[in-house]
Amino acid sequence: MNRQNNREVLLQWIQGRAPCHNHRGSLRADAFGGLWSYNLKIGQRTDSQRLVIADYTATSGEFRSQTTSTHVNLARQYADDVMHPRVWMTTPLSVDQEIPF
């Protein structure tokens, strides 16, 4: 897995060139189009290449951490859709798609 800065991770995610992660491993993109802040899935690149982000920030009332808010706000710049986390959690986009073995 390649180590990069946050913006490079996002660009790799957008282009579907994952897996990759930042230098601390706090922001990562998986091979299935998922974008993760720590162990919280915050985004998904869909099969149709739309970029969907869950708004885990204080503005949504679903604040998790300052780092996660930073990741969400960086990703928001590229997103096609931003969902409230309560809506996000009801969609298949929020599900971890990695094979469990």
User: How many CB atoms are located within 10 Å of the residue 76 CB?
Assistant: 15
For 20-75, how does the pLDDT look when each residue is reduced to its tens digit (9 = 90+)?
999 999 999 999 999 999 999 999 999 999 999 999 999 999 999 999 999 999 99
pLDDT at 3 over 70: no
- Which pLDDT does position 97 carry in this prediction? 67
Phi-psi region of 38 (alpha: psi -120 to 50; beta: other; left: phi over 0): left
CA-based angle 96:100:68, to the nearest 5? 35
Per domain, the residue ranges of the chain are: 2-94
Is the whole model's pTM more than 0.85, yes or no? Answer: yes
Alpha helix locations (H) across 1-101?
A: 6-15, 66-76, 85-88
